[in-house]
Structure 1
Amino acid sequence: MADRPLDDHEAFAAVFDAHFDEIHRYVAYRLGPDNAEDVVGETFLIAFRKRAQFDPSRAAAKTWLYGIATNLIGKHRRQEARTLRALSRCAPDRDTPGHEDRVVVQVAAESLRQDLAAALAELDQRDRDVVQLLALAGLSHEEVAVALGIPNGTVRSRLNRARKKLRGSLSLVLQEADRG
């Protein structure tokens, strides 16, 4: 499927069926469920219109679709940053049902969720794209490079810069928690 051109409707339909859910999850996480349907629809519309330009020797169809989706997400940068800032101000849900160990882990994760969202919002959009393609989409460094149309070394430097900023932001939060 990813090894052949997408110039016929059946090949494209197979790519759509294989990757729609994954691309939708990624976009929904990045932009929220309200915007996901439109962006994913536009992603596949653009892919369909440009299917003759798809080069299977350059990238897998999934990587190509992530690139299109990420470019569309870039058009929503201000909205994404506002959403992450709003998340950073929301109180975590303390009513987590389940086994005691799961509750402890969930409460710890929820207490950091606000701070992580705030730290992500402070990242440069290009660095945030790299982090989220790696963490949410599970793409390799090489696939992120292809999806974003940047060299592999640039992916690594953006990830390194983002890690340092996130580590610094979150270590301050943890230090404050230890003092409190």
Structure 2
Amino acid sequence: MELSQRARLRAGDQGALAELFDEHAQAVYGYALRTLGDWAAAEDAVSLTFLEAWRLRGSLHRDGDSVRPWLFGLATNVLRNTARTARRHRAAMSRLPEREPVPDFADALVTRLDDDARLAAVRRALARLRRGDREVFRLCVWVGLDYASAAEALGVPLGTVRSRLSRARTRLRALTDEELTLDQKSALDREPGSGPGQVRHGGVGAARSTQGDIR
């Protein structure tokens, strides 16, 4: 009788780990990228997640179907630690003298900058949620886990996942709109004032709704 992927992984079969990587690495990467907002950091998080999967393979329950909830539970822990390290790094960097920003007005970057700005606004809004609400939202909405799988990944009751997700969605819509409004106001405040012989140009790109991003 052929052993399941779960059983093979528990037994230390490296082929099972390779299969797990092929099946889920892209989804883990997307989860990490949306959470961290940094391509390189997301790639590191993927590597750490699968290293943890190998190191902690004995913690995988013998019984069950998909190992996806277990894997994303590990990814969530990796991202918690990564975010904690990033906060320490930002705190250290904030103590260094500031450098003057160098703006880039290349037309080819407008779309990319707009997308990055909206993602940054969503991430800032998420950071204002309670950690439990934030993690449930990421797993259910960004990763696509169902309630039961998210509950398994986080080790919480099913009802807790439902209530946290409902609360997160409600708060996130309002907070994201607030962040985008603040971004727009900040951009306008940075524009040079009108003077003799000068014409002030309006800012390009009004804040757009992010409901498509967070539903």
TM-score, length of structure 1 as denominator length: 0.70
Give the C-alpha shift of residue 165 in structure 1: 1.5
- The residue aligned with 1:71 is 77
SS at match of 2:143: coil
* Whole-angstrom CA distance in 2 between matches of 1:174 and 1:45: 37
Let me know the Cα RMSD of the aligned residues.
Answer: 3.5
Deviations 1:115-152 (A, max 9, x none): 43432221112211111111111111111111111111
Specify which of 36, 40, 46 is matched with residue 46 of structure 2: 40
Give the C-alpha shift of residue 41 in structure 1: 1.4
1:161 equivalenced with 2:164 (yes/no): no
Count matched residues: 161
Q: After TM superposition, where is structure 1 displaced by more than 4 Å over at least 4 residues in a row?
A: 109-115, 170-175
Assess if the C-alpha contact under 8 Å between 2:35 and 2:123 holds in 1: no
Taking a change above 3 Å as real, the CA distance of residues 158 and 33 of structure 1, as seen in their structure-2 partners, is: same
Assess if the C-alpha contact under 8 Å between 1:77 and 1:125 holds in 2: no
Assess if the C-alpha contact under 8 Å between 1:5 and 1:55 holds in 2: no
Question: Which one has the largest radius of gyration?
Answer: 2
Assess if the C-alpha contact under 8 Å between 1:120 and 1:166 holds in 2: yes
Q: Partner amino acid for 1:116? A: V
Where structure 1 has 5 or more consecutive residues not aligned to the other structure, the ranges are 84-92, 98-106
Taking a change above 3 Å as real, the CA distance of residues 56 and 38 of structure 1, as seen in their structure-2 partners, is: same
Q: Partner amino acid for 1:143? A: S
Where structure 2 has 5 or more consecutive residues not aligned to the other structure, the ranges are 91-107, 182-205, 207-215
SS at match of 1:55: coil
SS at match of 1:76: helix
Taking a change above 3 Å as real, the CA distance of residues 9 and 135 of structure 1, as seen in their structure-2 partners, is: same
1:20 equivalenced with 2:25 (yes/no): yes
Taking a change above 3 Å as real, the CA distance of residues 44 and 163 of structure 1, as seen in their structure-2 partners, is: same
- The residue aligned with 1:142 is 148
* Whole-angstrom CA distance in 2 between matches of 1:38 and 1:174: 29
Which one has a larger percent helix, Structure 1 or Structure 2?
Answer: 1
Map 1:162-177 → 2, pairs under 5 A? 162-169=168-175
TM-score, length of structure 2 as denominator length: 0.60
Specify which of 121, 128, 134 is matched with residue 134 of structure 2: 128
